[in-house]
Homo-oligomer: A and B are copies of this chain.
């Protein structure tokens, strides 16, 4: 693998991990596939001796791990995020296999930071978490027992990603610039405010609709220029309303 590999642009984000041993085992799984960038959102316990023990010779990954308070923090700067889940969800999102996720991440990682996002061992990612991601990915598994250990799931996603990276090298490069996660979030906040201003939204119960809009626009992979246009439109709508009040 070349010195500046797209794998360097891949973050593994573990949310609310209960068992530090799983963090260590995940670090080892990552390193075997050439991934080094680990983000921990609210780990129950970290650093921890169990994490070091399970990491064996991948403790360097643990040492450089970044602990965050929120998923948003962990996703700042990413262009594409894959929500890795074991079960289907009501909030519908595009669902791809781990293999397809590997292909897509490999393609995006040529251009910038991307993320593989995993939820807590018992409960998985919340709908809120998923709405921040571009796509859902599942490991096709035994329908009667689909419960992979967290580190085992990390291993498979990292493996699929690595298998894809070399293939994708020769793809034609798209020229437009994808907006980073936080630019889309700022747009969503602007949208929410505008929807209050134009009295479309009831401040008492806005949450579900905003989450839907977040899901739509994170999925759409907005370009930077599109975000600018959309925010221009929002500002115009706000002005129209202000003139009226």
Residues of A within 8 A of B (CB): 1, 25, 28-29, 31-34, 56-58, 88, 92, 94-95, 97, 99, 138-143, 145-149, 151-152, 155-156, 159, 162-163, 166, 170-172, 174-176, 195, 197-200, 209, 212-213, 216-217, 219-223, 225-226, 229, 232-233, 236-237, 239-241, 243-244
Tell whether, in the assembled complex, residue A170 and residue B140 are in contact, meaning their CB atoms are under 8 Å apart: yes
Name the one of B142, B163, B239 contacting A140, with C-beta atoms under 8 angstroms.
B163
Tell whether, in the assembled complex, residue A94 and residue B174 are in contact, meaning their CB atoms are under 8 Å apart: yes
Tell whether, in the assembled complex, residue B159 and residue A236 are in contact, meaning their CB atoms are under 8 Å apart: no
A97 to B95, CA, bound (A): 27
Tell whether, in the assembled complex, residue A200 and residue B233 are in contact, meaning their CB atoms are under 8 Å apart: yes
Chain B residues with CB under 8 Å of A175's CB are 92
Tell whether, in the assembled complex, residue A145 and residue B57 are in contact, meaning their CB atoms are under 8 Å apart: yes
Chain B residues with CB under 8 Å of A199's CB are 236, 240
Chain B residues with CB under 8 Å of A195's CB are 233, 236
Tell whether, in the assembled complex, residue B145 and residue A155 are in contact, meaning their CB atoms are under 8 Å apart: no
With known contacts A92-B176, A95-B174, A99-B163, A213–B229 Cβ distance under 8 A: yes
Q: Which 5 A-B pairs have the closest CB atoms?
A: A244-B244, A92-B176, A200-B236, A220-B220, A34-B142
Chain B residue at minimum C-beta to C-beta distance from A213: B229
Most buried by B among A29, A57, A140, A212: A140
A195 to B209, CA, bound (A): 22
- Chosen A-B contacts, 24 in total, with CB atoms closer than 8 Å, are A25-B149, A25-B152, A31-B142, A33-B142, A34-B142, A57-B147, A94-B174, A97-B171, A138-B172, A140-B163, A140-B166, A141-B162, A142-B162, A148-B155, A152-B155, A155-B155, A195-B236, A199-B236, A200-B233, A200-B237, A216-B226, A219-B220, A220-B220, A240-B240
Chain B residues with CB under 8 Å of A99's CB are 163
A237 to B230, CA, bound (A): 14
Q: A18 → chain B, closest Cβ, in Å?
A: 13
